[in-house]
């Protein structure tokens, strides 16, 4: 009988590791790439130091605007107008209310996974928006009412995006399921809605929401401008969410539907327990992509007279005491948008890792 | 045979996919506790036949009666029938986002409304039975094909079915893993559950089946008890089929 011995696993060779090896392999493998690397380094050298000088080393952070001597950015403008960028015309004495909402939201975002029971999770999801609304708008529990006309700045941007994301999500799921339904009327309605909304720019929908919606209601009812924008944005976003989720649904193998049917689950049980969890997991990157574009699109509300953070910058720039500070204002807004969007993208990556079961 | 003993009656079942006639007057009577193996070339309608039994496929003509219930297109009737019929698929169709244990708990807790604690006990019992209890908290993709198929069998057993349908349960497995699945099925057969199995494992058919059914082009060509079926085939079509699958 032939004998054999199993071979031991050996460690991989060490020559292809280390910084020097990486540099040689990636930056200086041959003459052409070495030249490109050097050109790239020179380009960075011409851009980065002056940028840093302008933003940090030569910048003016404190003092009054008449005493500026440095050549860099005059961040005193941002410092001076910071509250307006953040809260719009929200009364200064009440800034603690949106601040509290912000803190609560962060606690919810990072603490949600630690809530044990499903019932408590659902209760939180339902109650949290109500608490936030009461805190910001007031009117209950002796909180002073703040009209929506006074809401603005980053607070409004985040609020519009959050409502758009949270409210559009369930509608999008239902539209996506409806689009795949066996019932022809339901399917046609869903396809019709999705295709109509996707065929129209958001600006048009916002105009329609602010001009058309009031026509449907009796004269007496004063329909809030912000609410109209929120409805418009939610419906717009729902159509995109529906298409993203449909993509996820179509990626689920037919066997999963059959297995859940064969076990005797009802349509909704099968969808909620088996199909949607998998479809949504696949859809996370695209969903977050869609949410990030919504976050940036919210700035279009400025054209129907709401003052989000970008509108606030434009507005403060027309203050005769502070003319000529556009660059600082827009750089600041850019940074804010980037921080928000990048955080969303990072958060989505952490969720993806959490749901990954293909170890 | 008396009426109580009959578990499944298929009477003149016809089915079309568009213009394509897939099932032609299929008649099948299966008694309680009987083990039936259905074989035949691919496209002969064997999978379609058993998929009609739990209404994964609709049929246009004829009638099916399962354990005294007439199979009609009514959500409640279909759910009632599915709650007594377990199905094992070629590609296992475990739910990849749920752990092995959760896969086994879905139907008992949501369809049969059993308390979770009781369902866990039952689930662990059946995982023990298919010799895989130590994997209960892994996810399906962390298991081998043979292990996944055994979990799928346990998932069906958890609903305590009257009838088990097997749709080519070993066709997607690596050759080394076929026997571990067949072993579980043989054990199951010894317990008196009604089994219908579409398979090409003729050894299994000889060992376990009370009856073997041969289908071709949507028809039942021949059915017989296994010894007669393999040793004394009546039709030319079955002779040819047996020659081809048993030739090497």
Kindly report, residue by residue over A319-350, the tens digit of the pLDDT: 777 777 888 888 889 999 999 999 999 988 88
CB nearest to B142's CB, from A255, A277, A359: A359
Confidence (pLDDT) at B9: 93
Burial of A333 (0-12, 13-18, 19+ CB in 10 A): buried
CB burial class (10 A; 0-12, 13-18, 19+) of residue A234?
buried
**pLDDT > 60? residue A45:** yes
CA distance B30 to chain A (A): 20
Which tens digits make up the pLDDT trace of A76-116? 778 778 888 888 888 887 888 888 888 888 888 888 878 87
Rg (CA), chain B: 18
CB distance A294 to A337 below 8 Å? no
* pLDDT tens, residue by residue, B115-145: 999 999 999 999 999 999 999 999 999 999 9
Rounded to 5 degrees, what are φ and ψ at A9?
-75, 130
Select from A308, A316, A311 the least CA-distant residue to A65.
Answer: A316
CB contact (8 A) between residue A262 and residue B54? yes
* Contact call for B89 and A273, based on CB within 8 A: no
What pLDDT, on the 0 to 100 scale, is given for residue B118? 93
List the alpha helices (DSSP H) in chain B: 46-53, 75-82, 100-110, 116-129, 145-157, 178-189, 202-208, 226-231, 236-246
- Positive or negative, the Cα torsion across B177, B179, B185, B187? negative
Q: Please judge whether A256 and B111 are an interchain contact, meaning their C-beta atoms are less than 8 angstroms apart.
A: no
Question: What is the distance between the alpha carbons of residues A70 and A216, in angstroms, rounded to a whole number?
Answer: 57
Is A274 within 8 Å of B106 when comparing Cβ atoms? yes
Contact assessment for residue A357 and residue B95, using Cβ atoms and an 8 Å cutoff: no
- Closest of B213, B219, B216, B214 to residue B24, by C-alpha: B219
Question: CB B109: neighbour CB atoms within 10 A?
Answer: 19
CA end-to-end distance (rounded Å), chain A: 39
Cα A67 to Cα A74, A75, A316, A321: the distances in Å are 11, 13, 20, 14
Nearest CA in chain B to A273: B106
SS3 of B191-223: the string is: CCCEEEEECCCHHHHHHHCCEEEEEECCEEEEE
CB contact under 8 A, A256 and B97: no
Q: How many CB atoms lie within 10 A of CB A331?
A: 16
Q: How far apart are the first and last CA of chain B?
A: 39
Q: What pLDDT is stored for residue A30 in this prediction?
A: 87
The two structure tokens encoding residue A6: 């199993």
**Residues of chain A neighbouring B83 (CB-CB closer than 8 A):** 264
Q: What is the ipTM of this complex?
A: 0.91
pLDDT above 50: residue B2: no
Predicted pLDDT of residue A16: 66
Q: Which of B191, B194, B169, B190 is nearest to B180 (CA)?
A: B169
Q: Do A263 and B107 count as a contact with CB atoms less than 8 A apart?
A: yes
- Count CB pairs under 8 A between chains A and B: 66
Choose the closest CB to A258 out of B85, B93, B142: B93
| Nearest CB partner across the interface for A357, out of B79, B87, B97 | B97
β-bridge pairing B211-216 and B35-39 = parallel
User: Residue A72: its pLDDT value, please?
Assistant: 75
**B95 with A263: Cβ contact below 8 A:** no
SS3 assignment, position A79: helix
- Strand, helix or coil for residue B55: coil
Sign of CA dihedral A79, A81, A83, A86: negative
- The CB density around residue A295, as the number of other CB atoms within 10 Å, is 20
More confident residue, A17 or B141: B141
Percent of chain A with pLDDT over 90: 35
Which residues from chain B sit within 8 angstroms of residue A260, using beta carbons?
95, 106
A284 CB neighbours in chain B (<8 A) are none
Mean pLDDT score, B69-75: 90
Q: Is the pLDDT of residue A241 over 60?
A: yes
Distances (CA, A) of A316 to A53, A243, A279, A309, B192: 25, 39, 45, 11, 83
Main-chain dihedrals φ then ψ at residue A63, nearest 5 degrees: 95, -175
CA distances from B38 to A239, B2, B12, B218 (A): 47, 24, 17, 12
With a cut of 80, say whether residue A1 has pLDDT above it.
no
Find how far residue B101's CA is from the centre of its chain: 22
Interface residues of B toward A, Cβ cutoff 8 Å, are 54, 56, 75, 79, 82-83, 85-87, 89, 91, 93-97, 106-107, 110-111, 139, 141-142, 155, 159
- Alpha-helix runs per DSSP H in chain A: 19-26, 31-52, 76-87, 96-111, 118-137, 153-179, 184-198, 202-211, 225-251, 254-262, 267-269, 276-297, 309-317, 326-355
Residue of A188, A159, A190 lying closest to A172 (CA atoms): A190
If you ran DSSP here, which 8-state letter would residue A299 be given? Answer: G
In whole angstroms, what is the distance from residue A245 CA to residue A287 CA? Answer: 8
Verify whether the Cβ–Cβ distance A277 to B97 is below 8 Å: yes
In this prediction, residue A220 carries a pLDDT of 55
pTM: 0.83
Q: Which of A259, A277, A355 sits opposite B93 (nearest CB)?
A: A259
Mean pLDDT of all residues in chain A? 86
Q: Percent of chain A, pLDDT > 70?
A: 96
């Amino acid at each position: 009988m032939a004998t054999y011995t199993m071979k031991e696993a050996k460690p991989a060779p060490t020559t292809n590791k280390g910084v020097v090896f990486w540099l040689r392999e990636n930056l200086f493998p041959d003459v052409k790439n070495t030249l490109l690397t050097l050109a790239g380094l020179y380009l960075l050298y011409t851009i980065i130091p002056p940028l840093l000088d302008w933003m940090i080393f030569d910048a003016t952070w404190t003092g009054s605007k008449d005493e500026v001597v440095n050549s860099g950015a005059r961040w005193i403008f941002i410092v001076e107008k910071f509250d307006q960028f953040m809260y719009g015309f929200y009364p200064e004495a009440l800034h603690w209310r949106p601040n509290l909402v912000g803190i609560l939201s962060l606690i919810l975002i990072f603490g949600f996974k630690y809530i044990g029971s499903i019932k408590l999770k659902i209760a939180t999801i339902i109650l949290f928006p109500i608490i936030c609304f009461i805190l910001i708008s007031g009117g209950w529990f002796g909180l002073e009412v703040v009209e929506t006309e006074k809401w603005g700045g980053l607070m409004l941007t985040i609020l519009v995006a959050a409502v758009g994301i949270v409210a559009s999500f369930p509608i999008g799921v239902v539209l996506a399921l409806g689009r795949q339904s066996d019932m022809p009327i339901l399917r046609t309605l869903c396809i019709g809605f999705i295709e109509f909304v996707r065929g129209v720019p958001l600006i048009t929908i916002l105009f329609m929401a602010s001009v058309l919606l009031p026509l449907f209601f009796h004269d007496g009812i004063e329909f809030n401008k912000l609410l109209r924008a929120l409805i418009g944005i939610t419906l717009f976003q729902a159509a995109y969410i529906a298409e993203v989720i449909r993509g996820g649904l179509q990626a689920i193998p037919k066997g999963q539907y059959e297995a859940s049917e064969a076990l005797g689950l009802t349509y909704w049980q099968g969808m909620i327990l088996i199909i949607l969890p998998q479809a949504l997991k696949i859809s996370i990157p695209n969903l977050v992509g869609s949410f990030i574009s919504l976050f940036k699109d919210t700035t279009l509300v400025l054209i129907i007279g709401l003052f989000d953070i970008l509108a606030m910058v434009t507005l403060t720039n027309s203050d005769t005491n502070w003319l000529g500070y556009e660059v600082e204002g827009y750089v600041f807004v850019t940074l804010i948008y980037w921080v928000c969007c990048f955080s969303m993208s990072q958060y989505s990556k952490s969720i993806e890792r959490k749901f990954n079961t293909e170890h | 045979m008396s009426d109580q003993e009959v578990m499944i009656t298929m009477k003149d079942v016809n089915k079309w996919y568009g213009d394509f006639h897939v099932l032609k007057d299929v008649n099948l009577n299966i008694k309680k506790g009987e083990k039936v193996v259905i074989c035949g070339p691919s496209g002969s309608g064997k999978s379609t036949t058993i998929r009609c039994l739990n209404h994964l496929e609709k049929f246009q003509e004829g009638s099916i009666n399962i354990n005294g219930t007439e199979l009609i297109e009514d959500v409640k009737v279909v759910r009632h029938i599915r709650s007594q019929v377990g199905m094992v698929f070629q590609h296992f169709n475990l739910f990849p986002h749920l752990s092995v244990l959760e896969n086994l708990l879905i139907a008992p807790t949501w369809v049969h409304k059993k308390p979770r604690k009781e369902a866990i006990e039952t689930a662990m019992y059946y995982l023990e039975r298919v010799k895989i209890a130590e994997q209960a908290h892994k996810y399906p993709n962390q298991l081998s094909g043979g292990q996944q198929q055994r979990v799928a069998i346990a998932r069906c057993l958890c609903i305590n079915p009257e009838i088990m349908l097997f749709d080519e349960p070993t066709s997607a497995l690596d050759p080394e893993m076929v026997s571990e699945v067949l072993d579980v099925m043989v054990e199951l057969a010894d317990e008196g559950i009604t089994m219908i199995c579409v398979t090409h494992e003729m050894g299994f058919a000889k060992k376990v089946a009370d009856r073997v059914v041969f289908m071709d082009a949507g028809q039942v060509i021949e059915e017989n008890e296994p010894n007669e079926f393999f040793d004394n085939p009546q039709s030319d079509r079955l002779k040819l089929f047996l020659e081809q699958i048993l030739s090497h």
